């Protein structure tokens, strides 16, 4: 079976950063000034599919992300715990890509971390989403990127800052892999490619407010958010893994 390789870390919905590496680059929009998240703009989410022919899936797709993970409507499944195997990699740079380093203040969560993976042969994409609320605990990923983020403070889109060797294991999700949601969706930015396997961990983590502020300061992008609106489920099945011992005998 072809294995997924860790590609980048993206904090989306409320704040986002990208660690560059070779996989999955063809799936991303390089110039994010071509679109925005302002619904009153002709480049806003409802118009993404009209901006370029290759972005039409943003408008016509039936498996778009994000969706509302309503626990009352999910299918409980025995998918088993996530099997993760990460190794340190030289990601070289942290890049200011405009919309991907910003803060959205209008959701019940304060931060979402995306671990984006791609198979090297078939280019299949899988994303693990980790949700955060402001608390007393520091997020280890943002803590390890404190200096690069400070170097991006107030920079314009396109600036690169050296990161060097980064160890994905610093995310530390080993204890949170038994309770998660699973559904088929898409990339949340143009070209909105579908066929993405989404796994969202149920465990909510803690992040310090100043860590989110450091992301906001990395790009002076104004008060608006960077969350794509919730997309129709279109009768998709959303599974919720309750791996033993969480299953009841009743």
Catalytic residues: 99
Distance between CA 193 and CA 1 in Å, rounded?
23
Residue 243: its H or E element: none
Q: Which residues pair with 94 in a beta bridge?
A: 19, 161
- The answer to whether residues 74 and 238 touch, using CB atoms and an 8 Å cutoff, is yes
CB neighbour list of residue 1: distance below 8 Å, 6 or more residues apart: none
- The answer to whether residues 118 and 23 touch, using CB atoms and an 8 Å cutoff, is yes
CA angle 150, 220, 39 (to 5 degrees): 140
């Amino acid at each position: 079976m072809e294995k997924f390789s860790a590609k980048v870390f993206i904090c989306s919905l409320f704040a986002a950063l990208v660690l560059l590496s070779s996989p999955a680059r063809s799936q991303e929009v390089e110039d994010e000034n071509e679109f925005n998240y302002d619904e009153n703009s002709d480049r806003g989410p409802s118009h993404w599919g009209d901006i370029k022919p290759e972005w039409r899936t943003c408008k016509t797709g039936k498996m778009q992300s994000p969706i509302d993970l309503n626990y009352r409507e999910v299918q409980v499944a025995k998918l088993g715990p996530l099997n993760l195997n990460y190794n340190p990699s030289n990601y070289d740079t942290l890049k200011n890509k405009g919309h991907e380093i910003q803060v959205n203040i209008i959701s019940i969560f304060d931060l979402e971390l995306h671990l984006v993976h791609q198979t090297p042969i078939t280019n299949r994409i899988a994303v693990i989403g980790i949700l955060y609320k402001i608390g007393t605990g520091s997020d280890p990923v943002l803590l390890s990127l404190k200096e690069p983020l400070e170097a991006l403070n107030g920079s314009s889109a396109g600036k690169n800052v050296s990161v060097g060797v980064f160890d994905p294991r610093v995310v530390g999700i080993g204890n949170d892999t038994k309770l998660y949601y699973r559904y088929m969706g898409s990339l949340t930015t143009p070209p909105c490619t579908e066929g993405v396997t989404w796994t969202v961990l149920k465990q909510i983590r803690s992040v310090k407010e100043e860590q989110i502020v450091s992301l906001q300061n990395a790009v002076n992008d104004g008060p608006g958010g960077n969350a794509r609106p919730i997309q129709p489920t279109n009768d998709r099945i959303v599974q919720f893994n309750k791996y033993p011992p969480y299953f009841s005998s009743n």
